[in-house]
Amino acid sequence: MVKGITKRWMINTLSVILSIIILIVVILIFSIIHLFQSRVEQDLHSASNELSMVFSGFKADNPTDFTSLSRDYIENFDKKEQMGVMVLNTSGRVVLTSTGFIPSEDEKMTDFDEAKQSASGYAFWNGKLLSGERAMSETRIICDENNNVIGALRYIVSMEPAHSRTLLFSAIIIAVGLGVTAMVIFSGLAFIRSIVKPIRRLSDAAAQIAQGDFSASEKIEHKYNDEIGDLCDAVSDMAKDLQTTEQMKNDFISRVSHELRTPLTAIKGWAETMQLSERGTLDRRTFDRGMGVIIKESTRLTGIVEELLDFGRIQSGRMVLMKEKIDILAEFDETVYMLKERAVEEGIHLLYDDLDVVYPPIYGDRNRLRQVFLNILDNALKYTPRGGVVAAQVLYSKDDPDVIKIVVTDSGCGIPAEDLPRVKEKFFKANQTVGGSGIGLAVADEIMNLHNGKLDIESGEGVGTTVTLTFPVYKEGEENAAPETVKL
């Protein structure tokens, strides 16, 4: 059963083409018929025009004069092989013919009566004789000097040769039309097939990809570098990206599971230790140590859950910002202060100058921005080895008064050049040996975008990483131009 694109092509295109071809064939056939008939009429009319010379100034003293002159005309007529000539009396009866045979009185000669009534004095007839032969004739009325009808001459030609040629040319035209139609159909079907087959293969491959079989993209082939080829390439690239994303998602789930399991294991272990220990047998130092681990790991677990919740909000477009005028320098100072003790414990030099200056405010959500600061500084400490350096600074210049920049530089392992363009993608994690879910940087980048800011990363493998946060300075009336609550 014909369906889909092929059916639409047959209905919309092929039907129009066939209609045009049929119309052209019909027009050509009728043109051929008209051409042959016009040619015969022209020959008949040309022959009858000679009568104007033969009977010019004719004077009939008696009826036999017209018959005698007509006999002489017929005998000297030079087109006897092409057409016949008949002499008719005033009543329309044939009295003389060029063939010597008088036709039956039953033979209708309507052109004689039409010629008598015509102002031009002649008329044509086209039809079949009693014998069934196709013929065409022209009758011309002969008048005397007083304009009285004294008879008529009728020229008649057989149309059988013309009819045969008409049939031949019509057959040729129909054959050509059928040939063109066949070529259109075959070429059209071949063209449609070149579109339909790749699309069907593409549809099958897409269905397999939708079911998780990304290897189906390897079966997508195309012969031509056209729109279909571009579509095949696009689907193939999409499948590869989906496969990569799927792998990244699986790795992400694995990492998150590990990140969640680690603090839960520590909390459970110390909780069981404290529960199973007899009352009074657990010394204060061990108790404090256990409670410290529980609190620390609980805080860590809360951070992971919050990060996952933020990621879910961003994915679903429900990230909400509560914006206000804030002192970015004060917020960053507090964040650095929170991490100083950790840096000392890990043997990392955290360098930061507490500037006694006042910078212009920015318009943003203080909690979300502190989340960004924590994420950037946490990554810097996480990837910097013991004895390394993490330097942070807040920059504002009157040469560029519209922005405030925060720059965090570490001397850690750095990021490979091939991974650098993807570090802000969801699920992506360049270094699998270091803990973390791999979505913190993606969340931070989205928060910066919601603040009309930028998060830029420069890094070299084995050299270290520099993260630059750029914030637009608050402009008067900005809180009125934008709603206090901004949704992604």
| Local confidence pLDDT in tens for the 488 residues of the chain | 455 666 777 777 778 888 888 999 999 999 988 888 888 888 888 887 877 666 665 565 555 677 787 888 888 887 878 888 888 888 888 888 888 888 887 888 888 888 888 888 889 999 888 888 889 999 988 887 777 788 888 899 988 888 888 899 999 999 998 998 888 888 877 777 777 777 777 777 778 777 777 676 666 666 667 777 777 778 777 777 777 777 767 766 766 676 677 778 878 887 877 777 655 566 777 778 888 888 877 877 787 777 777 766 666 666 677 888 999 999 999 999 988 988 999 999 999 987 778 889 999 988 889 889 988 998 899 889 999 999 999 998 888 889 999 999 999 888 888 888 888 876 666 665 555 556 778 888 888 988 899 999 999 888 899 999 999 998 876 666 544 443 33
Looking only at the bridges linking them, the beta strands covering 122-128 and 94-97 are unpaired
Contact 421, 457 (CB under 8 A): no
Given this model, what pLDDT does residue 152 score? 87
Residue 445, H or E segment = helix 440-450
Q: What angle do CA 145, 151, 154 make, to 5 degrees?
A: 125
Given this model, what pLDDT does residue 12 score? 76
Q: Residue 294 and residue 273: Cα distance in Å, rounded?
A: 12
- Count, residues in the chain: 488
Q: Tell me the angle at which helices 284-316 and 227-276 cross, rounded to the nearest 10 degrees.
A: 160
Given this model, what pLDDT does residue 64 score? 65
Residue 319, SS3 per DSSP: coil
Give which of 105, 110, 106 is closest to 154, Cα–Cα. Answer: 110
Q: Residue 84 and residue 135: Cα distance in Å, rounded?
A: 11
DSSP string for 157-182: EE-HHHHHHHHHHHHHHHHHHHHHHH
Burial class of residue 476, CB neighbours in 10 A (0-12, 13-18, 19+): exposed
Q: Residue 197 and residue 222: Cα distance in Å, rounded?
A: 10
**3-class SS shares of the chain: helix, strand, coil, % to 5:** 55, 20, 30
Q: Residue 316 and residue 65: Cα distance in Å, rounded?
A: 115
Tens digit of each residue's pLDDT (9 = 90 or more) over 341-377: 889 999 999 999 877 788 899 999 888 898 899 889 9
Given this model, what pLDDT does residue 457 score? 92
Q: In this structure, is the dihedral angle defined by the CA atoms of residues 429, 435, 437 and 441, taken in order, positive or negative?
A: negative
Residue 125, SS3 per DSSP: strand
Contact 266, 293 (CB under 8 A): yes
Given this model, what pLDDT does residue 299 score? 79
Given this model, what pLDDT does residue 433 score? 54
Contact 239, 284 (CB under 8 A): no
Q: Which two tokens stand for residue 400?
A: 């560029």
Residue 218, number of CB atoms within 10 A of its CB: 11
Task: Write the CB contacts of 408 (distance below 8 Å, at least 6 apart in sequence).
Answer: 376, 377, 380, 390, 391, 392, 466, 467, 469
Task: Name residue 389's beta-bridge partners.
Answer: 349
CA dihedral 58, 64, 69, 72 (to 10 degrees): 180
The number of C-alpha atoms within 13 Å of 156 and in the hemisphere containing its C-beta is 28
